[in-house]
Structure 1
Amino acid sequence: MSIGREQWVRTADALLGAAWRHASPDRAFLDLPGRPSHSGVRSDGLEGYARTFLAAAFRTAHGDDPHNWLERYAAGLVAGTSGRWPAIFDVGQPMVESASVALGLRLTKPWLWDRLSCQEQDRAEAWLREALRHVPAANNWYFFPYTVASFLEAAGRGDDETRQAKQRAMELLQGWYAGDGWYSDGDGRAFDHYNGWALHLYPALDAHLGGEPITTRLREHLESFSLLFGADGAPLYLGRSLTYRFAAATAVALGAVTGETPLSPGHSRVLIGRTLEYFLDRGALTGGLLSLGWHGPHEASLQPYSGPASPYWASKAFVCLLAGPDHPLWTAQEEDDDSDRTLALPGPGFLIQRHNGVTRLHNHGSDHVRPFEGEYATDDDPLYSRFAYSTATGPTARHNVADNHLALVHRGDRSVRRRIHPLGARDNWAASWHRPVFDADQVMVPGLRVESVTAVWDDQELRIHRVIGAPPGTRAELTGWATDLPSSLVAVCGWTGEDRRTAPQGTAFSPVVHVPVLTADVEGTVTLAAVAVLNGEVAEADWQARVDEILKITLDACDKG
């Protein structure tokens, strides 16, 4: 049986109860325990208030508030906007939290905002409006002032400034659209969970609350995104801010609430419920609080901006509670679809492979390289640069052996994969190319290029890499899945050595993992191929014939492009 609405309500109440044990006397801050973020403790306390307020707002949006959550948040709002909260500034964390405060106020307007005095409303507006007057980060952050503007308009306080903030965000969003329902998180090619819990959420929810058409391609996004969950409810481990955990189910819930979804209500309920249970059953709570990590605490899942209350963006999944008790999301018959699927997405450059309850994503298009950073910086981002991710494995940490990676080693320097150039995706394959970037003084080798393609059959992954322009003395290393599950990486052509290395820092799924490695000396133009399997064995097949077939379809055609 899937989780019903009452269980979602009880979970929200439990999370709120645990968090409020850490409230400041004036209720303006929720100072949760844990490592501080780089924004400082006052900002972290505001984050605790704002992100839990969002959960409380979804929980009470129908006027049901038996625990008087909104009375507490009203008191905190009055104190915070009377000078206690840090001011909103350019590219600052308070701007992020202003969106949660504004959305919470919009959802609970009859029971909180409308009961404030005119002076209290004016002070709150003055604090919020600074989000419209300062510069956001050049990505999903533009939807923080957008959400503030949406609330001010709903409260009868709209003007040219609010209209411009909303128009600016929507114009940028259309420029970030790549196809297949996927947006890049800002300029460049960064495709991750921010699609669901930000880029689709804020404008689609604004339109839904305002009774307007939804124009964010949410339905098309869910055609593929709904596959990125394991049969156990685990979301795909890809991209930053993964400590938000079950916020990954937000887009599925939002689709059910708004009707902009290809999924049946019963299927949506199963998906979001499994994801919530997945984390609650695997140690996500410490003392009733969401910890900084994935299952339990996990440092490698975090970013410098992650503070003690950061995990409470998970509150966004409680958007499902906007569906009342009689909504089909809760009353329709359960539907489960864990069937095997393969889906190519040329827009983001993804190949989705779902088999035996585990989803794998083969990455030939998402790299998180910003245009102003340049292609040849030597930083390796494990959360974006790997060739494959899954719902059952996490990438290895930055200073461990890299999983699902092709590295070239030249003069002692090891290459990383930075800017990814998609070449196409169709049927059961996806392809890309990149220029290997080396650390130390050897930033790049002129003319050196790697063309790559992944083709899948059932649970088998054929990985082909054509190295072009390799100088003498170059060694190639290919790695497979980092997991304690049975996995294989078997040479098909070009590889001459094999090894198995330990990643002592493990992954979010396992404390210590072993990574299979294939090696070969390369010079000039060389084609290398291997078959990888996660949680299984390589099937007997004429893999060399399949290499020839895939090269004919994909990489050889790219020589003319």
Structure 2
Amino acid sequence: MRLPPPDHALSPLTGYTRAHWEAAADALLAAVTPYATEDHALYHLPGDHESWSGRLSDGLEGYARTFLLAAFRRDETALERYADGLAAGVSGVWPRIEDRGQPLVEAASIALALRLTRPLLWDRLDDAVRRRAADWLGDALTAQPWPCNWELFPVTVGGFLESVGHAPEASRAAIDRGLERIEAWYVGDGWYSDGPGRAFDYYNGWAMHLYPVLHAWLAKDQDLLSLYGDRLEAHLASYARLFGGDGAPLRQGRSLTYRFATAAPLWLGALTGRTPLPPGETRRLASGALKHFLERGAVDPHGLLTLGWHGPDPSVLQGYSGPASPYWASKGFLGLLLPPDHEVWTAREEPGPTEREDAATPLTAPNWLLQSTRSDGLVRLHNHGSEDARYDPHYTRLAYSTLTAPSPSYDNSVILDGDPTRTGIEPLGVGDGWAASRHTAGGGARVTSVVLVRGASEVRIHRVTGAPPGTPVRVTGWPTENAELLPALGLDDSLTGHITDDTMLFVALARLTVDPATRSEPLDKTASVRRPTPNEIDVHWQDGPAWRVTLSRDTVEVTPLVD
């Protein structure tokens, strides 16, 4: 991909400006054009990972997701192709929108693109094409979505159809129904669960906030914009801390092949004026994410986004992932809706939180602890509250980072008698440099886990109950040579211990860093650990405070320890 020369005067950290975003968008659009059918209604991108929806649906996905990119870019030449494709698609080429079918997802992208470009595309179409398109989209108003972010797809379609006067009552009903349903999943501090339960991931930003806020903004509904804007602003205050100093987002959650779609909520805050972030920091974080992936193989030699994270990587795919799925990354180009003279484009880049300070940031709603270190630019997420309904290594591990990927050998886990299962995660609180949770493991045993952090160091504490005496307990750490894991209490040098009548506490020291200066300090010197009573652990940080951790069957207390 050919990009302009870096501009380190305006963007000293990434070198990226609006011109780089425009060039990247143009290159991505140009690369997919040869794969369109003659009528431009379908984009059959190459790849050997066909989604469970089939080739026709995958072709629609290619159209819809790249159309969204063209809408953000507002390229009239490209939009003409998509207008032709729309006319053909709604004349019998596209599959119908049915209950819980993939076309419902793609209808939302098409509707949003049409709403954003109405004077350039929709208003220029023949009346007959508009009627057929509205009728095709109209099935989304009553189609049953999956109970998750899918509830917002009828909202998005309804918002467009209401704006053009099509089926206003049904459109309004779809909008109200979807917005009402997501209320049950809002848990505070700007965080939604992606459906019932506690599935926290990037869908918060690129779906749960994106669609309601954009709908309210486009509809000029100030009451809705106040409600959803407040939530977005609260979310961005912590969201900004999920990016490493190298621009990498945390590798956690599903659908990670959408990559720099992680920039979408950052731009959304600037677009609607609902962000706590300075404009230079917004652009730095967004450009950092785009640059991170473009420089690490996200685009193949043909200019196409691959199915993966950096390059092709099946470990981040789901059954619904097809060749065009990565083009939900188009959402990351939302910032192109902002005019070139907007301050988010003209302000000088400012460092993100990870570049400014070491921090241990508790996020109460998802029960996460974010541990970041300025010296190496790494962010580590200690997961004590997120779990998907289906087993997924991108949800169930105790920790994730901007450097590592979950391993098949069960990194960051507690393994009881060879069983690494972690289900039924219950949050037990987060605080100043600590987080705690409880889960079920090993055939019904209960594990209470606590992590305390300072700098790059971690103290990991596990209390096991309900396991038979003699059960082996092994703890694992970060899956990289840049990590350390040392036994502290109850574990031997292989990080394995055994349940006895009076020994159920297991403690290890961990560290993940690529900073040579940090690694030169012995890990076992950064903290000392002792066990004054069977259910208490005292942690003394070498260069900081001391804490007492009290673990009971149902609670965890972390209190300052005064000598």
Partner in structure 1 of residue 5 of structure 2: none
Show structure 2 runs of 5+ residues with no match.
Answer: 1-10, 514-518, 532-536, 540-545, 558-563
Tell whether 2:359 aligns with 1:341.
yes
From 349, 367, 388, the counterpart of 1:368? 388
Secondary structure class of the residue paired with 1:359: strand
RMSD of Structure 2 on Structure 1 (CA): 1.7
Aligned pairs for 1:125-524 (under 5 A) are: 125-213=134-222, 214=225, 215-216=227-228, 217-286=231-300, 287-337=302-352, 338=355, 339-355=357-373, 356=375, 357-369=377-389, 380-396=391-407, 400-409=408-417, 414-436=419-441, 438=442, 444-445=443-444, 448-484=445-481, 486-498=482-494, 518-524=495-501
Q: Distance in 2 between matches of 1:480 and 1:520?
A: 15
Q: Distance in 1 between matches of 2:396 and 2:20?
A: 38
Cα offsets for 1:23-69 (capped at 9, x unmatched): 00111001000021111000000000000000000000xxx53xx00
Query: C-alpha displacement at 1:156, in angstroms?
Result: 2.4
From 51, 74, 96, the counterpart of 2:65? 51
Give structure 1 regions of 4+ aligned residues with deviation exceeding 3 angstroms.
Answer: 549-554, 556-561
Query: C-alpha displacement at 1:320, in angstroms?
Result: 0.5
Secondary structure class of the residue paired with 1:189: coil
- Residues 428 and 555, structure 2, Cα contact 8 Å, conserved in 1: no
Secondary structure class of the residue paired with 1:435: strand
Which amino acid letter does the alignment assign opposite residue 414 of structure 2? L
Say how many residue pairs are matched: 513
Partner in structure 2 of residue 37 of structure 1: 51
Query: C-alpha displacement at 1:111, in angstroms?
Result: 1.0
Relative to 1, partners in 2 of residues 1:560 and 1:340: Cα closer, same or farther, differing over 3 Å?
closer
Secondary structure class of the residue paired with 2:466: strand
Secondary structure class of the residue paired with 1:383: helix
- Residues 486 and 493, structure 2, Cα contact 8 Å, conserved in 1: no
Partner in structure 1 of residue 18 of structure 2: 5
Q: Distance in 2 between matches of 1:359 and 1:543?
A: 24
Query: C-alpha displacement at 1:212, in angstroms?
Result: 2.7
- Residues 105 and 112, structure 1, Cα contact 8 Å, conserved in 2: yes
Q: Distance in 2 between matches of 1:297 and 1:388?
A: 23
Partner in structure 2 of residue 106 of structure 1: 115
- Residues 369 and 418, structure 1, Cα contact 8 Å, conserved in 2: no
Query: C-alpha displacement at 1:403, in angstroms?
Result: 0.5
Query: C-alpha displacement at 1:552, in angstroms?
Result: 4.1
Q: Distance in 1 between matches of 2:163 and 2:360?
A: 43
Q: Distance in 1 between matches of 2:94 and 2:42?
A: 8
Length-normalised TM-score, structure 2: 0.88
Q: Distance in 1 between matches of 2:90 and 2:387?
A: 39
From 524, 538, 554, the counterpart of 1:548? 538
Which amino acid letter does the alignment assign opposite residue 449 of structure 1? R
Partner in structure 1 of residue 27 of structure 2: 14
Secondary structure class of the residue paired with 1:294: coil
Relative to 1, partners in 2 of residues 1:539 and 1:253: Cα closer, same or farther, differing over 3 Å?
farther
Query: C-alpha displacement at 1:555, in angstroms?
Result: 2.6
Query: C-alpha displacement at 1:210, in angstroms?
Result: 2.2
Q: Distance in 2 between matches of 1:253 and 1:57?
A: 15
Q: Distance in 1 between matches of 2:125 and 2:465?
A: 67
Q: Distance in 2 between matches of 1:466 and 1:543?
A: 18
- Residues 142 and 174, structure 2, Cα contact 8 Å, conserved in 1: no
Secondary structure class of the residue paired with 2:319: coil
- Residues 27 and 72, structure 1, Cα contact 8 Å, conserved in 2: yes
- Residues 470 and 523, structure 1, Cα contact 8 Å, conserved in 2: no
Q: Distance in 1 between matches of 2:470 and 2:552?
A: 26
Q: Distance in 2 between matches of 1:6 and 1:559?
A: 53
Secondary structure class of the residue paired with 1:94: helix
- Residues 179 and 348, structure 1, Cα contact 8 Å, conserved in 2: no
Which amino acid letter does the alignment assign opposite residue 461 of structure 1? E
Which amino acid letter does the alignment assign opposite residue 60 of structure 2? L
Query: C-alpha displacement at 1:133, in angstroms?
Result: 1.5
Partner in structure 2 of residue 506 of structure 1: none
Show structure 1 runs of 5+ residues with no match.
Answer: 371-379, 439-443, 499-517
Partner in structure 2 of residue 526 of structure 1: 504
Secondary structure class of the residue paired with 1:543: strand
Relative to 1, partners in 2 of residues 1:156 and 1:455: Cα closer, same or farther, differing over 3 Å?
same
Query: C-alpha displacement at 1:558, in angstroms?
Result: 4.0
Query: C-alpha displacement at 1:200, in angstroms?
Result: 0.3
